[in-house]
Amino acid sequence: MPSLPPLEAAVARLVTDLEYDSIPADALAGARRLMQDQLAVQIGCASLSWSRAVLELTKASHAPGSAHVTASGDEMSAADAAFVNATYGHGFEYDDAHRSSSSHPGSAVVSAAVAVGEELGASMAEVITGIVAGYEVYTRIGILAAPQLLERGFHPHGVLSAFGAAAVVAKMRGFDAERTVHALSIAMSHSSGTTEYTSTGGSVKRLHSGIGTRNGIRAAEMAAAGITGPTTFLSGGKGFYRTFVGRPVADNAVELFSPAASFQITRVWIKPYCCCGINHAYIDGAQQLTARASEVESIRLGIQSGGDVIIGNQNANAYAPQIIEHLQYSLPFQFALAILGRGNGFRTHHDYMDGRLDLGEDSEVAEMARRVKIEVDPELDAEYAGRWIADITVTYRDGSTEHVFVDNPRGTAENPMTEADLDAKFRDLTVADLGADRSEALLTSINAGDPTTPVSEFAALLRV
């Protein structure tokens, strides 16, 4: 493909050359775990206030089609259904994460693949292939943008989700390399979103995945209609990396997209806690300290530069959360909840929203949070690039100190959730809405992984 520059050609080949039968077993297992977690989160988060608002807004103006909204079963175009479903899936800080790109691929690529699959009458093999293609394009572009994309204030998922969704469509609709490049290039024109919500809130953050997913699908549709984009959209002098990241693309960029490169979908991070993933290592560490919580005098939390932007000192409401977005991005309060044994999961955050959990300035949690001091440690940036760690030092009232260091928090590829814990999270999110029998039927279908199953048959299990 001589007309395409090397990096963009390599990205296109990753999509066009991928076949279901060539996907390694561990990558297929990663795709299954991703689907199980993401679809459960969609079901469990469909009733949140912003989720309901998005559904009603979309129902009022949706395009007709044969794709369905999770839970409600409303029928609409693939782009509109994926917009709603991806919003559900990213709606409560409980969806999967990818450490090296600081992002959340699942809500974009799973929502796009299932919706487009319904539209095309696809099999589950085609859906899974689309998921893998989208996940790999999304995460590998993101790896090459980290950590600067996050440190500059962008929301990586808001920026990357359009690329992932466009790659899904390009694979599932059988685009050639040139049209795939145009789809991804046009997707770049839809990439946006900053992390200002971590400081002053805004439920629009919940929609970043839906916005990016719908736009990625539309970008691919534009490419199919003959609209073109700049072929050097990644590597050009005014392309993605120089503009969004502020530097040229890395020298090893083409190598990262090689067929010989390892599949990033094998490294899915399933969240056990319902808050920003950068908090998770600190939560794991805090849980080791609960026995002496009443003796704590002060807490020093060493943090990486990017983490400080999101959950630390550069988060305006880290020490005084007023709304749910503040709480889910507050390291002092998430640490305090954990060390006091109050929990950091789905129910805890619902209790806060519903007024059953007092986190006011006179509460035990707020008092503990005030003992936390967050310090940026540049050495952590250099030594632990690409993963979020926790460096914790507690000083007790008797003058003694305790140090806890957490490198691989629970749920990461290096410290994965057990199948039993993954299934427990699935049931916690789905049984209330689907009922026990339907929840088990959906779980069984995901675990069986029959590639010949029509996606229409599978998607019917997602409706209440």
Contacts of 459 (CB under 8 A, 6+ apart): 68, 114, 117, 118
Q: Closest Cα to residue 143, out of 55, 298, 261?
A: 261
Output the six-digit token pair for 341: 């044994």
For 304, the 3-state DSSP assignment is: coil
Statement to judge: residues 290 and 266 lie in one domain: no
Cβ pair 172, 216 in contact under 8 A: no
Q: Which of 170, 178, 177, 115 is nearest to 138 (CA)?
A: 170
Q: If you write DSSP's letter for every residue of 374-398 in order, what string do you get?
A: EEE-HHHHHHTTTS--EEEEEEETT
Based on the fold, state whether residues 248 and 166 are members of the same structural domain: yes
Q: With beta carbons less than 8 A apart as the criterion, state whether 400 and 325 touch.
A: no
pLDDT at 2: 53
Q: How many CB atoms lie within 10 A of CB 127?
A: 30
Q: Is 204 found in the same domain as 113?
A: yes
Residue 433: alpha-carbon gap to chain centroid: 23
- Are 282 and 189 found together in one domain? no
Query: Domain holding 162: CATH number?
Result: 1.10.4100.10
3-state class (DSSP) for residue 296: strand
Shared domain for 134 and 43, answered yes or no, is yes
End-to-end alpha carbon distance in the chain: 47
Residue 433 covered by a domain: no
Report the 10 Å Cβ neighbour count for 64. 8
Count of C-beta atoms within a 10 Å radius of residue 196: 14
From the list 303, 460, 320, 464, the residue with the least C-alpha distance to 376 is 303
Please give the Cα distance from 381 to 443 (Å, whole number).
Answer: 39
Quote the pLDDT of residue 1.
42
Residue 419 inside a domain? The answer is: no
In a domain, 29, yes or no: yes
CB 27 within 8 A of CB 263: yes
Q: Which CATH number characterizes residue 367's domain?
A: 3.30.1330.120
Cβ–Cβ contacts within 10 Å for residue 215, how many?
A: 22
Q: According to the model, what pLDDT value does residue 3 have?
A: 83
Total of domains in the chain? 2
Q: Please check whether residues 337 and 359 belong to one and the same domain.
A: yes
- Counts for the chain of helices (H) and strands (E), in that order: 23, 6
Whether the CB-CB separation of 364 and 340 falls below 8 Å is answered with yes
- Collapsing DSSP to helix, strand or coil, 194 comes out as strand
Residues 257 and 299 in one domain: no
Give yes or no for a contact between 325 and 197, defined as CB atoms under 8 angstroms apart: yes
Query: Is residue 348 in a domain?
Result: yes
242 and 380, same structural domain? no
Residues 174 and 238 in one domain: yes
Whether residues 81 and 225 share a domain: the answer is yes
* Pair 255, 298 in one domain: no
pLDDT score, position 361:
95
Q: Does residue 290 sit within a domain?
A: yes
**Does residue 251 lie in a domain region?**
yes
Q: Is residue 435 assigned to a domain?
A: no
> Do 243 and 177 belong to one domain?
yes
**Does residue 119 form part of some domain?**
yes
pLDDT reported for residue 385: 87
Low-confidence ranges of the chain (pLDDT < 50): 1
Domain that holds residue 372: 277-406
